[in-house]
Amino acid sequence: MTATEDPLARFAEVFARAAANAPFDHTAATLGTATPTGSPSLRTVLVRGVDAAGFSFFTNYESRKGRELEVNPAAALCFYWPWIDEQVLVEGRVTPLGPEESDAYFAGRPRGSQLGAWASQQSRPLGSRGELESRWRETERRFAGRDVPRPPYWGGFRLTPSRMEFWTAGEYRLHDRELYSRSAGGRWSVTRLYP
C-alpha cells in the first residue's frame, strides 16, 4: 500500500516535513472531546506516538478530557503547521494504553514533569498558584532520593483513526482537501473535497 493509499503512511511523510526546521513543537495538536450529551471541548496535547495502530497522547485520567473520553471515546485531533501550510484532521475512537506503555513513557519524562503529574489535580479548581507550588515541593520531598513512579490516575490514550483529512493551502483559497475513510472491513477509500 502506497502513502497515497495509506493515510498513516502519508501522515508520516507530512509529519516529517513539519518536523524539519519547525519553529514550534510539531507534535502539538488540538484534541476535541465531547460529553455524552454532545457538549464539545478542545485543548492542545502533544502527540507522543504515531504508528499503524494510531496516535498516542498522555494525560491525567481524572482531567476533563480523561473523564470525557471515559464515557464518550469518540475524539478528534487537528494538527496545523502554518510553516508548511498543511493541516491534518484525524477522527476516531480512543482507548487507554496498557500500563506497560504508560510506565515506559512516564519513566522517560523529566523528573520535574513526573513530580508535576503527582502535584496537579488537573482540571479541578485551584485556590492559588502558591497552593500548586506547595503541592509540587511536598511531592519533591516525598520522592527525594528515589525514582518517581507513574501515578495510578495518569497514562496514555490511543486514537485509532476512522477518518483522516489532509489539507494543503492553495492560491486564491483553492485548497487541496482529501478525505480518507475507513470501511468496517478496514480498507481506506479516498475522496477529494471542495475547499
Q: How many alpha carbons fall within 13 Å on the CB side of residue 90?
A: 23
Q: Are 48 and 146 in contact (CB under 8 A)?
A: no
In a domain, 70, yes or no: yes
In a domain, 179, yes or no: yes
* Total domains, the chain: 1
- 102: cell is 504508560
Could you give the CA distance from residue 15 to residue 158 in angstroms, rounded to a whole number? 17
The mean per-residue pLDDT over the stretch 100-122 comes to 95
In a domain, 2, yes or no: no
Note down the domain range covering 126: 7-193
The active-site residue out of 173, 177, 187, 192 is 173
What's the CATH number where 184 sits?
Answer: 2.30.110.10
The beta strand positions in 22-73, using DSSP E, are: 28-34, 40-46, 49-51, 54-60
Q: What is the pTM of this model?
A: 0.92
SS3 of 96-133: the string is ECCHHHHHHHHHCCCHHHHHHHHHCCCCCCCCCHHHHH
Give the pLDDT band (50/70/90) at residue 41.
Answer: very high
Tell me the per-residue pLDDT of 9-38, one tens digit each, with 9 for 90 and over. Answer: 999 999 999 999 899 999 999 999 999 899
Q: Determine whether 192 is an active site residue.
A: no
In a domain, 1, yes or no: no
In a domain, 123, yes or no: yes
The pLDDT value recorded for residue 2 is 60
